[in-house]
Chain A
Amino acid sequence: MSAATGGGFAPRVLLACGGLLIWGAHFLFIYVFAALACARAFAGMRLIGVGVVPFTIMASTVAALLLLAWLSRRAWRVESRVHAIDPDTPRFLRHLGAALAVYSAAAILLQALPVLILPVCV
């Protein structure tokens, strides 16, 4: 079954929702990491002069945004290719994926910002 006939459903939908999935992974990671750093008392460690929690959160945020950019580009290309093979299929998923990526990027940035101003385990 080709992608154009409705097969390939899972990869197409997962790519379109990729931004939200990355948001979820990032959210879970920073929450669990910060909680563990406090529960297991390693929050005081420093990496290149920065606290381990802010460092890790910022690094994971950059990684999440890069992954998001790569995934969105891939989603856009896959949808464009599907459309080229089968012009009757709507471009809906392509636009939806792009819009969700923008929203997810904003949400990722928003949840990473507090680490710049708040203490870690208080």
Chain B
Amino acid sequence: MSLPNATPRPEGELEQLEAVWKAPTGWRILGAINNTYIGLFFVGAALLFFVLAGILALLMRTQLAVAENDFIGSDLYNQLFTMHGTMMMFLFAVPVVEAVAILLLPNMLGARDLPFPRMGAYAFWAYFIGGLCFFSSLFFDLAPDGGWFMYPPLTSFEFSPGVNSDMYMLGIGFIEISAVAGAIELIVGIMRTRAPGMSLDKLPVYAWAMLVFAVMVILAFPAVILATLLLELERAFQWPFFIADKGGDPLLWQHLFWLFGHPDVYIIFLPAAGMVSVIIPTVVQAPLVAYRLVVLALLGTGFVSFGLWVHHMFATGLPQLSMSFFSAASMAVAIPSGIQIFAWIATIASGRIRLNTPALFILGFLVIFTIGGLTGVMVAMVPFDLQVHDTYFVVAHFHYVLIGGMVFPLFAALYYWMPTVSKNALSERVGRWVFGLIFIGVNVTFLPMHVTGIVGMPRRVYTYPAELPWQGLNLVSTIGAFTIAAGVLLFLIDLARKMRFSFGENPGNIWNASTLEWLPNDVYQTRSIPIVTSRDPIWDQPNLAKDVEAGAYFLPGTRTGRRETIVTSPIDARPQHVLQLPNEPDWLPLLAAACTAAFFFGLTFKIVLPSLAIGVLAVALMIAWAWSTDPGPELGPIDIGADIRLPVYATGPESHSWWALITFILFSGSLYACMIFTYFFLWTVNPGEWPPPDVTPVSTGWGLAAAASYIASSGLVAVAGRALISSGTGAGLQVSVALLTGLALLFGGLAIEIYGQWQSGLNPTAHSYGAVVYAFSALQGQYIGAVAIMGGYTVARAVSGRLDGVRRSTFDNTMLLWHYTVAQALVGLLVVHGFPRVTG
């Protein structure tokens, strides 16, 4: 095969590439936005939170080591177990898998960076600053104390009047937004920035896993975001979504929470499974067996895991038949998990395993995760579950699943991929000790806990009387917990000793791995972007590393004088256009994230006006960073090699920003579906009282008027879109007038709806009916606010001459969200105005 570019490459080309991609140094590193830096920051922060949450666990184990201990009181203990669970799930498990992906994926896919570097940086800083503030609440006795799943009524205003629960609602709610931003970036990165030739059948399994992960984040997180939003509305304004006396239902929270919470288990496990599917072939030096079936397993698990949520609610009194659907789905999801485990065992059998540290952690994962899976089958049986519900048996079960299914693969990954970012690999000798201590520690801690639970110890008690037969078992668990801590400490010492971040001076492909991240790379990733013809390119494509390094493949330098990466088609990975990426340092993401955090935490403490001012500042900073996007087509088309000339600009469905917006709309659709679920759920718990007897439904005229206003605004935007195409540069004024009028109509529709309800006497605090009707408008108001910002921004682009018939990406994206917002509003009006009349 002849290669795309002739070698040797012209003098100065490499130097120019290096100059364009030069990473910031010194304190300017805080303004870094490239994926390697952000990925490393992200992994480091997640490990920090892992250690902090682990220390909380040690405090709890110390308290429980002996009976009637007075080391920690009940109030602090409540905060400790809540923070331990919340931090491990929201500040460690989900972020760390996202972090590893941000670090690795561009390398693995043959891209120079992820498509939205600044959004990645924003997601990191929002998470890091938010996480630190959230953790600090412990020092002020303000940490949430209602358990990581925060069930109302315990966590509502009546029984938790302090700000402790608000810390969870706003703090975690905001960190979830960062997870969603990261997921959007990963989806677009995986679908659109793969090396030419890396069609879906050659995508590394890890990338498949991260794709499924990211889609699951997009679809599952809205449930918990909505739940926390509703509970905060109840806490702050007494809108009774969860108060049974006023037509609410605490079970609504459980449904919404676990609709997120169960997929979340797989959100954590699938990336780990993806890591395992990449590491095993390397440690046995043989290709993964049954690649297609493993991909099937990832997709199947991703979908079916949304049908499991009620198995966290077996003790809530649902009918047997309803529970059996969830039992059936729980069994169905075992099929893909089984496929993956057999594929790994078969791969190990087809090669010859080298027992290095990553391999040890993989074997540890198989053992511990399988034990957790077996106790999972036990609690999947409803009668057994009722016996051990809320006992230490369950604590033992989910620690086996989560530590086995996620922490062990993560350690394997840290040992395995360290040479791609550090001058030295981690020590093999120390690594064996780390593995041994953690493996033994986990079993000593959690194996006896099964018995502790069966003999009756409930979870979340801060102490217990000496007469009960729990003391010996608890002491053993405490010794085990400190053994795990010793293992983690040893790992950190080794990390401090060996990890030296570097570009270009790394030890290279020390494991003889087969995927692209092991090609020689530097701050710009690989010198040229390879053509991929195999699932294991380094093994199957001779001289790949040498030719890539020599610049013989695509885009060996910069053609526009700026940062660039190739955008390829989503299924076949054929080059489509070149994406221009922003330079660094760029301080706007960091500042915007800090302002967003200040906004949310200010609201937590009810400092309303300053918070709103800072919120406006956050939006202004984001607008400032958006201003350099949508650069227009002037610099292209350019030659990337093999006589392929690509444009440097795209709009509509080919553009990366369009894909991001479609992904955001999927997220929004899921959020709205949860809102509609909430409405109908509350209807089912209020038989014959929907609306309640003292409420007169608002006249249909108000709903029709609001709908007409919304439809007219969408129509105006569509007309503006046509005008932009036909009039080219001269359409600025027309577009501006149309958009501003359209915005007035959007706000008008919302005002009509709210006023109509209000004048009919509907009160959001009297009954869940009123609360949910106004909640529709509250949600709609947020979307209209977002469209107003985008619409105003688009007008500014038009007025400043940055919008025309070709350079119209900004307009196209605004239009897409606009139409979605209107469609969503119409569905909401149909439900709120139509349904009570149908049933009424």
Known: A23-B303, A92-B200. A30 touches B320 (CB 8 A): no
Q: Which chain B residues in 149-207 approach chain A with CB under 8 Å?
A: 199-202
Do B325 and A111 touch across chains, with their CB atoms under 8 A apart? yes
Interface 9-mer from B71-79, B571-579, B610-618, B828-836: B571-579
- Closest-CB distance, B1 to chain A (whole angstroms): 14
The answer, yes or no, to whether A38 is at the interface (CB within 8 Å) is yes
Do A122 and B325 touch across chains, with their CB atoms under 8 A apart? no
Do B199 and A92 touch across chains, with their CB atoms under 8 A apart? yes
Do B574 and A107 touch across chains, with their CB atoms under 8 A apart? no
The answer, yes or no, to whether B293 is at the interface (CB within 8 Å) is yes
Q: Which residue of B lies closest to A112 (CB)?
A: B328
Do A12 and B684 touch across chains, with their CB atoms under 8 A apart? no
Which residues of B have CB within 8 Å of A78? none
- Closest-CB distance, B574 to chain A (whole angstroms): 6
Which residues of A have CB within 8 Å of B329? 27, 107, 110-111
Do B322 and A35 touch across chains, with their CB atoms under 8 A apart? yes
Do A90 and B199 touch across chains, with their CB atoms under 8 A apart? yes
Do B300 and A103 touch across chains, with their CB atoms under 8 A apart? yes
**Which of A20, A30, A93 interacts with B571 by CB under 8 Å?**
A93
Do A39 and B199 touch across chains, with their CB atoms under 8 A apart? no
The answer, yes or no, to whether B838 is at the interface (CB within 8 Å) is no
Which residues of A have CB within 8 Å of B303? 17, 20, 23-24
Do B296 and A114 touch across chains, with their CB atoms under 8 A apart? no
**Which of B307, B321, B332, B569 interacts with A119 by CB under 8 Å?**
B321
Q: Which chain B residues in 279-331 approach chain A with CB under 8 Å?
A: 292-293, 295-296, 299-300, 303-304, 306-307, 319-322, 324-325, 327-329, 331
The answer, yes or no, to whether B570 is at the interface (CB within 8 Å) is yes
Do B332 and A107 touch across chains, with their CB atoms under 8 A apart? yes
Q: How long is the Cα–Cα vector from A40 to B295 in the complex, in angstroms?
A: 42
The answer, yes or no, to whether B248 is at the interface (CB within 8 Å) is no
Which residues of B have CB within 8 Å of A20? 299-300, 303-304
Which residues of B have CB within 8 Å of A92? 199-201, 292
Q: How long is the Cα–Cα vector from A110 to B576 in the complex, in angstroms?
A: 44
B675-704 interface code vs A (CB 8 A; 1 in, 0 out) = 000000000110100000000000000000
Q: Which chain A residues in 20-39 approach chain B with CB under 8 Å?
A: 20, 23-24, 27, 30-31, 34-36, 38-39
Which residues of B have CB within 8 Å of A95? 292
Which residues of B have CB within 8 Å of A90? 199-202, 572
Do B304 and A107 touch across chains, with their CB atoms under 8 A apart? yes
- Closest-CB distance, B597 to chain A (whole angstroms): 36
B327, B328, B685 pick with most chain A CB within 10 angstroms? B328
The answer, yes or no, to whether A59 is at the interface (CB within 8 Å) is no
**Which of B199, B328, B685 interacts with A110 by CB under 8 Å?**
B328
A23, A88, A111 pick with most chain B CB within 10 angstroms? A111
- Closest-CB distance, A101 to chain B (whole angstroms): 10
The answer, yes or no, to whether A58 is at the interface (CB within 8 Å) is no
Known: A23-B304, A113-B328. A6 touches B569 (CB 8 A): yes
How many B residues face the partner with a CB closer than 8 A?
38
The answer, yes or no, to whether A67 is at the interface (CB within 8 Å) is no
Q: Which residue of A lies closest to B199 (CB)?
A: A90
Which residues of A have CB within 8 Å of B576? 6
Q: How long is the Cα–Cα vector from A96 to B571 in the complex, in angstroms?
A: 13
Q: How long is the Cα–Cα vector from A20 to B566 in the complex, in angstroms?
A: 32
Do A114 and B325 touch across chains, with their CB atoms under 8 A apart? yes
Which residues of B have CB within 8 Å of A115? 321
Do A120 and B319 touch across chains, with their CB atoms under 8 A apart? yes
Which residues of A have CB within 8 Å of B320? 118-119, 122
- Closest-CB distance, B113 to chain A (whole angstroms): 21
Known: A31-B325, A114-B328. A6 touches B571 (CB 8 A): yes
The answer, yes or no, to whether B336 is at the interface (CB within 8 Å) is yes
The number of chain A residues touching the other chain, given as a range, is: 35 or more
Do A9 and B328 touch across chains, with their CB atoms under 8 A apart? no
The answer, yes or no, to whether B335 is at the interface (CB within 8 Å) is yes
Known: A6-B572, A89-B571, A92-B200. A53 touches B325 (CB 8 A): no
Do A24 and B574 touch across chains, with their CB atoms under 8 A apart? no
Which residues of A have CB within 8 Å of B300? 20, 100, 103-104
Which residues of A have CB within 8 Å of B327? 114
Which residues of B have CB within 8 Å of A50? none
Do A110 and B331 touch across chains, with their CB atoms under 8 A apart? yes
- Closest-CB distance, A50 to chain B (whole angstroms): 15
Which residues of B have CB within 8 Å of A106? 332, 335
Do B296 and A96 touch across chains, with their CB atoms under 8 A apart? yes
Q: How long is the Cα–Cα vector from A32 to B336 in the complex, in angstroms?
A: 26
**Which of A39, A93, A103, A119 interacts with B200 by CB under 8 Å?**
A93
Which residues of B have CB within 8 Å of A9? 569-571
Which residues of B have CB within 8 Å of A69? none
Q: How long is the Cα–Cα vector from A44 to B572 in the complex, in angstroms?
A: 54
A33-60 interface code vs B (CB 8 A; 1 in, 0 out) = 0111011100000000000010000000
Q: How long is the Cα–Cα vector from A115 to B200 in the complex, in angstroms?
A: 39
Which residues of A have CB within 8 Å of B572? 4-6, 88-90
- Closest-CB distance, B390 to chain A (whole angstroms): 23
Which residues of B have CB within 8 Å of A5? 569, 572, 574
**Which of B292, B332, B568, B653 interacts with A111 by CB under 8 Å?**
B332
- Since A34-B322, A100-B296, A110-B329 are in contact, a sample of 4 more A-B pairs with Cβ atoms closer than 8 Å, ordered by chain A residue number, is A24-B303, A34-B325, A96-B295, A119-B321
Q: List 18 A-B contacts (CB under 8 A).
A: A5-B572, A6-B569, A6-B570, A17-B303, A20-B300, A24-B303, A31-B322, A92-B199, A92-B200, A93-B571, A96-B299, A100-B300, A103-B300, A107-B332, A107-B335, A110-B331, A113-B328, A120-B321
Could you list which residues of chain B lie within 8 angstroms of chain A, going by C-beta atoms? 199-202, 292-293, 295-296, 299-300, 303-304, 306-307, 319-322, 324-325, 327-329, 331-332, 335-336, 568-572, 574, 576, 653, 684-685, 687
Could you list which residues of chain A lie within 8 angstroms of chain B, going by C-beta atoms? 4-7, 9, 12-13, 17, 20, 23-24, 27, 30-31, 34-36, 38-40, 53, 88-90, 92-93, 95-96, 99-100, 103-104, 106-107, 110-111, 113-115, 118-122
Q: Which 8 A-B pairs have the closest CB atoms?
A: A6-B569, A92-B201, A114-B324, A107-B332, A111-B328, A20-B303, A90-B201, A39-B684
